[in-house]
Structure 1
Amino acid sequence: MYHTWMRYFTPSPVHHRLGLVCLGVGLQHGALPTVGPRTLDHHVAVVVSSGGGWYRGPDGRRTTVTAPALIWLTPGVPHHYAADPGTGWDEAFVDFTGPATATYTELGYIEPERPVVPLADAQSARAAIGRIARAARPGNPLLEVETAAAVHELLVALRRARADTAADGDPVLSALARDAFTPLSVAEHAARHGMTAAELRAAVRRAAGRSPKDYLLTVRLGRAKELLAATDLPVAAVARRVGYDDPAYFSRLFTRRVGTAPIRFREQQGRTVPGGWSTTVPDPEHPPTLLTGSG
């Protein structure tokens, strides 16, 4: 015995230009029928919240699926899977497509080479899928855009929920961000973690989808933008604060990556903050508010 609910969508060519569109969503549980063998022309994320079963890919090897887990179904890849007939499983799936899938794959959010991914928790992914399901109500004029936004959210939730990711993020990335403003080479950063440069590159590529050098650059430039926008520090002082002793090199690097010179960025964004720029992340449940007096 099993229960199933599903909806399918046909986004217009205009919606496809969003880069990512949702093609369908489903919620199922119980001893579901076997799927496949089949091959699809789009991506599907199958989130198994409870129960277990198996997955078989093109190599014919059978992989055990134990909840919580994610099954990636990718275009052109034959697949075959099923819930255990005795216990069944609780499943939610989202079909999606678009050119942004190539970028998400390059960044490591979609993993074609690892079709079965253990999850630490399926709650946030199920919440994103729930938003897609609610958007599927009849007559919703925002359907295509609302579901497309939720697919982006789902991919982030699935990346964060991977069982090999710590709850507070990847420790290597956290350490790199902490030390980003010190004049260290990639090899010196690696040595601080007891790693070779190649091991550090592999770890950062796996966690952030980029090289350590590029990751450090994004952290430095982010801080530089904050200092340019919120303080009156000279550009040379900003450069030193973010790890560059040569202000001319910093300006060239900033201009090439940001698309505008530091001085021009300050003119566009500058708003000096009396008392300095807060480094405390606001609580989403209690954001900063303007307090008005009675006079």
Structure 2
Amino acid sequence: MAEQRYQSWMRYFTPGPVHHRLGLVCLGVGMQHGPLPPVGPRTLDHHVAIVISAGRGWCQDVDGRRHEVVAPALLWITPGVPHHFGADAEEGWDEAFVDFTGSAVAAYTELGCIEPGRPVVPLTDAGPARGAIIRITRAARQGNPLLEIETAAAVHELLVALRRTRADTTADGAPVLEALARDAFLPLSVAEHAARHGMTAAELRTAVRRSAGCSPKDYVLGIRLGRAKELLAGTDLPVSTVARRVGYDDPAYFSRLFTRRVGMAPVRFREQQGRTVPGGWSHTIPDPDRPPMISHAQP
């Protein structure tokens, strides 16, 4: 009998109704390597993310066109869409996959984290995604009472990791978003933001939506409201001053916008979240390895 040239490990789960209310649930996980046999043609009723971390192979789209797959890469399997793929017969590949479903899939798709129209997505690094998948495999131990919760959390983490390491946006998208964040509090229109990058407004909208899953206006608004919340919660600045600090000369307009998006007026938010402390508010993000701690004076 010929020696088996590939290895496979996989587990499958059946989350209950209450777990489905988490928004995403993990239906299965697997890790395989070697010259694996081809898969399909077949059609599934749920999503599968297949992370190729080494090697090469191929996949066939719905129109029958064959695409080369070179690691690191992601293969998307989407519900109701026929798929057919396989590792190179000689070189093989290292594969890790996660089957998942849930109501949150629609939002992740709208935000660009899931791309139904792209069967193959180049990645800059498969490591972060494999890390999330490894957490699922660890949660799959026998008798784990938190199996469905841990695996569901890891699916969320996986989608973020895949979005962050997508090769077509990491290089160009990050600088644009960084510049928008830096200039978010300036009174600039979308066209003026675009001109700063030598882009048209349409090109900027495309770049930001591909990178952040939203329009430039919404991206800037999110940054402005985030800063406004920080100032309202951590300082005694008047609302009118907070409005000007985050780019709004009209405090009344700022208050209406804040109320519509946050669900409560700025004054009400301050009443709920305000925690002014001696020493003042800082926009510096603490080092995760050295978080703020109470310092006890030495005797």
Over the aligned positions, Cα root-mean-square deviation in angstroms equals 1.2
- Residue 91 of structure 1 aligns to a residue whose secondary structure is strand
- Residue 166 of structure 1 aligns to a residue whose secondary structure is helix
> What CA distance in whole angstroms lies between the structure 1 residues aligned with 2:57 and 2:277?
56
Deviation at 1:125, TM superposition (A): 0.5
> What CA distance in whole angstroms lies between the structure 2 residues aligned with 1:126 and 1:215?
29
Say whether the 8 Å CA contact 1:57–1:77 is kept in structure 2. no
Partner of 1:3: 7
Residue 213 of structure 1 pairs with residue 226 of structure 2? no
Deviation at 1:169, TM superposition (A): 6.4
* Range moving further from structure 2, 278-287 or 228-237: 278-287
Matches within 5 A, 1:160-239: 160-166=164-170, 170-239=174-243
Deviation at 1:136, TM superposition (A): 0.2
**TM-score, structure 2 as length reference:** 0.96
One-letter identity of the residue aligned with 1:112: P
* Range moving further from structure 2, 282-291 or 115-124: 282-291
Partner of 2:63: 59
- Residue 167 of structure 2 aligns to a residue whose secondary structure is coil
Select 2:39's aligned residue among 20, 35, 40.
35
Matches within 5 A, 1:247-286: 247-286=251-290
> What CA distance in whole angstroms lies between the structure 1 residues aligned with 2:206 and 2:42?
33
Deviation at 1:81, TM superposition (A): 0.3
- Residue 280 of structure 2 aligns to a residue whose secondary structure is coil
Residue 138 of structure 1 pairs with residue 139 of structure 2? no
> What CA distance in whole angstroms lies between the structure 1 residues aligned with 2:142 and 2:75?
29
Structure 2 spans left out of the alignment, 5+ residues: none
**TM-score, structure 1 as length reference:** 0.98
> What CA distance in whole angstroms lies between the structure 1 residues aligned with 2:196 and 2:19?
47
Residue 245 of structure 1 pairs with residue 249 of structure 2? yes
Structure 1 spans left out of the alignment, 5+ residues: none
* Range moving further from structure 2, 185-194 or 165-174: 165-174
Deviation at 1:165, TM superposition (A): 3.2
Partner of 1:76: 80
> What CA distance in whole angstroms lies between the structure 2 residues aligned with 1:82 and 1:96?
21
Identity %: 78
